[in-house]
């Protein structure tokens, strides 16, 4: 399902970067979320969002690329004042594993977060995408590599 554009709940935090489209493979698995971006077929440069030209080599032969769901929380802050959103909410820069950095709403407790923390894309109750501390992916990775829990 490509970017279903859910109805916004009044007072809900805004979708960070409205130009970033997200997809999920299942409406029942809210943790299965990806962001759509672009990849240059000439130089492999990966860019968040839909682009018309590569920001590295300026060629226009781009393909759609899925980013996520895993990433690392680069930095974060708590927003206490907003003219349009219910505060407080947490905003962070996330380095997705494919090499792009995006601004994202962080779904979590501020005191439980730290820089360089593994996070994953997820849908939040408002119907928007956000990131939250990694749980499901860590378990999948541990099982994939044969690590006992
Ligand atoms: Zn390029």
Read off the pLDDT band of 3 (50, 70, 90): very low
Query: Alpha-carbon distance 126 to 115, whole Å?
Result: 25
Q: How far is the CA of 80 from the centre of ligand 1 (A)?
A: 39
- The dihedral over CA atoms of 49, 54, 56, 59, expressed in degrees to the nearest 10, equals 170
Instruction: Output the CA 67–ligand 1 centroid distance in Å.
Output: 17
Q: Higher-confidence residue: 54 or 6? A: 54
Q: Kindly report the CA angle at 81 between 76 and 87, in degrees rounded to 5?
A: 75
Q: How far is the CA of 62 from the centre of ligand 1 (A)?
A: 8
Q: Is the peptide bond before 88 cis (omega within 30 degrees of 0)?
A: yes
In this predicted structure, what is the pLDDT of residue 44?
95
Predicted confidence (pLDDT) at residue 50 exceeds the cutoff of 50: yes
pLDDT tens digits, one per residue of 96-142 = 988 889 999 999 999 999 999 999 988 887 778 889 998 755 555 54
pLDDT for the residue numbered 143: 47
CA of 57 to the centre of ligand 1 (A): 4
Question: Closest Cα to residue 98, out of 71, 126, 80, 125?
Answer: 71
How far, in Å, is the centroid of ligand 1 from the Cα of 58? 6
Give the span between the Cα atoms of 24 and 69, in whole angstroms: 10
Spacing, Cα 139 to ligand 1 middle (Å): 35
Question: How many Å lie between the centroid of ligand 1 and the Cα of residue 46?
Answer: 8
Coil, strand or helix at 117: strand
**pLDDT score for 31:** 57
Give the whole-angstrom CA distance, residue 110 versus residue 89: 9
**Mean pLDDT, the chain, integer:** 79
């Amino acid at each position: 399902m490509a970017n279903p554009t859910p109805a916004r709940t009044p007072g809900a935090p805004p979708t960070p970067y409205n130009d970033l489209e997200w997809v999920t493979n299942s409406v029942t698995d809210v943790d299965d979320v990806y962001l759509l971006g672009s990849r240059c077929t000439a130089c492999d440069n990966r860019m968040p969002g839909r682009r018309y030209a590569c920001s590295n080599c300026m060629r226009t032969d781009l393909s759609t690329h899925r980013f996520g769901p895993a990433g690392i929380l680069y930095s974060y802050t708590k927003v206490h004042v907003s003219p349009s959103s219910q505060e407080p909410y947490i905003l962070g820069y996330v380095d997705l594993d494919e090499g792009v950095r995006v601004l994202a709403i962080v779904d979590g407790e501020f005191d439980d977060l730290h820089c360089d923390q593994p996070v994953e894309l997820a849908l939040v109750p408002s119907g928007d995408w956000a990131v939250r501390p990694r749980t499901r992916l860590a378990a999948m990775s541990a099982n994939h590599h044969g690590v006992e829990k």
